[in-house]
Amino acid sequence: MKISKIKLVSILSLLASFATSCAASNNSVKTKTVAKTKTSTIKTPDPKTVPQISTTIIEEDFKVNLPAINREFRGAWIASVANINWPSRNNLSVEQQKMEAINMLNMLQENNFNAVIFQARPSADALYTSELEPWSYFLTGKTGEAPYPNYDPLQFWIEESHKRGMELHVWLNPYRAHHSNGGAVSSQSMVNKLSDLTVRLKNGMYWFDPANPKTQGHVSNVVKDLVKRYDLDAIHFDDYFYPYATYNSGRDFPDSASWNAYINSGGTLTRADWRRDSVNKFVERIYKEIHAEKSYVRFGISPFGIWKPGFPEGVVGSSQFDELYADAKLWLNKGWVDYFSPQLYWPIESKGQPFGSLLNWWKSENTMNRHLWPGLNTVEIRVSDKPTEIKNQIEVTRQILVNDAGEIHWSIAGLTKNSNMLPTLKNGPYKEKALTPKSPWIKSVPLDKPTLFTNENGVSIQTSWSSKNIKNVFQWVLFTQYNGVWETEILTLENLSKEIAKTKNGKTLTAIAIKAIDRLGNESDYMAKKVK
């Protein structure tokens, strides 16, 4: 609609006269005028017939002090072995498998989790396409049989997790060759394909010999293959190194062949030290090989929660050092992990295994300042009120770890079996979303400052953003300021725009800012716009 210069002058003159009249009025007159306006019936003019005058002026790229972004690692283990969590049965259709996965991921996203620990190799088998090991019995009901129609479950989990702004950590059991719930040992099984590396335990399980160099070479190849081919965020090992003594009816691990070979070659270590030394070398090797392949992929281990009885003083129970031949304290001392999740599966008030004391002890051993995120027994913690206990354990963890807090829940079933668990977390410690803590010891490519675009749209501002090196972006953080107070929102990579209200709860929008976040939690510089 065009307006002549004469008409425009007339409109401006009228506005100026009205402003002068208002300025000359006292405060009581102003109040009465507003009150009358609110109660009067005024016909709203058609915006198509009235010239629109913008009241929003945006100042480009100005400097602000943005608040710190909330950070905490919030993970859940998803076990495939024995169909504990996913898939719930080994005869589900592909569509049923996918639906179960999506439901789990939606639940985690809605309750502000940010990481999935997915078991892709439960026992020398694969829930992914592999030329090194067979398809898992727990996926299709037959070792070596691909899903039909064929798809890659791990790839599906990675893509769906990333869509929701969650990390995907690939969980492997390094030495278990066959699980007793894994059906018959077939010709496709690695028990037969690598028979010179495996031994049978009294409970029906088969185990790779951890000290055999061929075992270490095979598992190393599996890990490198996964890191090379998949867009995963971390490799994760749990506490099954040498098996628990109960697996073999209390008898010693049957590794006489490799032990005798060691002695005959001039070895001088005791048998226990030799076993630990083999695992130590393997852990260091895996850590270095992962980072050599992709520097940003992290390596995490979740060992049994007690290193030795008496550490710290008063702790009793099994010894991972003496029974599993896992010197997890050494791995943490040496920095051979990027994150460390001791399984602290006991209550806060446990006399023999107090949660806080154990976590404080592990913290004192974290000399390389790696992430220390304890495992919580969300399923079977022995207390009457599980949700309150887990909530309190999260609060204790925050008090001890301060700016690098986090935890992993064993397992996702613990979040659903108790109807009060998720509401207790969502209404308490997980009320707000959080980014995972940064890993400053891992070098990364700095992110470019994103570009922020705005377009006024009536009562809101249509806002969008982009980055030159978007391939390195994992998430966005959007900041909005109302009446000088900042609000923070963590958004997934696919969220590239948002309509932002000019007023909210009676407060006025005063600024907008955006940051890009990479997959290690590193932040880009921000771009901000001031709204007047």
How much is the pLDDT for 62? 86
Tokens of 122: 């439960």
What is the secondary structure of 361-408 as a DSSP string? Answer: HHHHT-TT--EE--EE-TTT-SSS-HHHHHHHHHHHHHHHHGGG-EEE
**CA-to-CA dists, residue 127 to 226, 227, 231, 413, 441, angstroms:** 11, 15, 15, 20, 31
Q: Model confidence over 508-529: pLDDT tens digits? A: 999 999 999 999 999 999 999 9
Report the C-alpha gap between 457 and 452 in whole angstroms. 16
How much is the pLDDT for 470? 93
Nearest partner of 318 among 282, 346, 279, judged by Cα: 346
Q: 56 falls in which pLDDT band (50, 70, 90)?
A: low
How much is the pLDDT for 60? 75
Average pLDDT over residues 247-272: 97
How much is the pLDDT for 491? 98
Beta-ladder partners of 61: none
Phi, psi of 266 (to 5 degrees): 100, 15
Please calculate the CA angle 18-20-24 and round it to the nearest 5 degrees: 115
Q: How far apart are the first and last CA of the chain?
A: 26
Tokens of 517: 């976040």
Beta-ladder partners of 480: 487, 512
Phi, psi of 514 (to 5 degrees): -140, 145
Please report, for the chain, the start and end positions of each structural domain, with discontinuous segments joined by +: 59-68+444-531, 73-426
Residue 331: other Cβ atoms inside 10 A: 23
The residue ranking higher by pLDDT, 385 or 45, is: 385
Fold of 59-68+444-531: Immunoglobulin-like (2.60.40)
Average pLDDT over residues 62-86: 97
Strand arrangement of the beta sheet that strand 460-466 belongs to: 451-457, 460-466, 497-501
Q: Model confidence over 192-242: pLDDT tens digits? A: 999 999 999 999 999 999 999 999 999 999 999 999 999 999 999 999 999
CATH of domain 73-426: 3.20.20.80
On whether the CB atoms of residues 296 and 444 are closer than 8 A, the answer is yes
In 134-283 the beta strands, taken as DSSP E runs, fall at 167-172, 176-178, 198-200, 206-208, 234-237
On whether the CB atoms of residues 286 and 235 are closer than 8 A, the answer is yes
How much is the pLDDT for 159? 98
**pLDDT above 70 for 38:** no
HSE value, Cβ hemisphere, 13 Å, CA-based, for 250: 0
The continuous run of DSSP H or E covering 117 comes out as strand 115-121
How much is the pLDDT for 18? 40
Tokens of 308: 């030795």
Three-class secondary structure of residue 431 per DSSP: coil
Tokens of 68: 């710190």
On whether the CB atoms of residues 382 and 351 are closer than 8 A, the answer is no
How much is the pLDDT for 237? 98
Q: Model confidence over 152-184: pLDDT tens digits? A: 999 999 999 999 999 999 999 999 999 999 999
Average pLDDT over residues 47-62: 55
The continuous run of DSSP H or E covering 74 comes out as strand 73-78
Phi, psi of 256 (to 5 degrees): -60, -35
Report the C-alpha gap between 198 and 262 in whole angstroms. 17
How much is the pLDDT for 31? 34
Report the C-alpha gap between 373 and 406 in whole angstroms. 5
Classify residue 163 by burial, with Cβ atoms within 10 Å: 0-12, 13-18, 19+. Answer: middle
**pLDDT above 60 for 23:** no
In 134-273 the beta strands, taken as DSSP E runs, fall at 167-172, 176-178, 198-200, 206-208, 234-237
Please calculate the CA angle 291-295-301 and round it to the nearest 5 degrees: 50
pTM attached to this predicted model:
0.89
Q: Model confidence over 461-497: pLDDT tens digits? A: 999 999 998 999 999 999 999 999 999 999 999 999 9
Place of tokens 């001031």: 530
Q: Kindly give the interhelix angle for 386-401 and 355-364, rounded to the nearest 10 degrees.
A: 30
How much is the pLDDT for 57? 56
Q: Model confidence over 382-418: pLDDT tens digits? A: 999 999 999 999 999 999 999 999 999 999 999 999 9
Report the C-alpha gap between 24 and 470 in whole angstroms. 55
How much is the pLDDT for 484? 94
Average pLDDT over residues 408-435: 98
How much is the pLDDT for 59? 75
Report the C-alpha gap between 109 and 509 in whole angstroms. 28
Three-class secondary structure of residue 238 per DSSP: coil
Average pLDDT over residues 96-123: 98
Q: Model confidence over 321-353: pLDDT tens digits? A: 999 999 999 999 999 999 999 999 999 999 999
Nearest partner of 338 among 290, 375, 306, 293, judged by Cα: 290
Q: Which amino acid is at 68?
A: A
Q: 356 falls in which pLDDT band (50, 70, 90)?
A: very high
User: Across all residues in the chain, what is the average pLDDT?
Assistant: 91
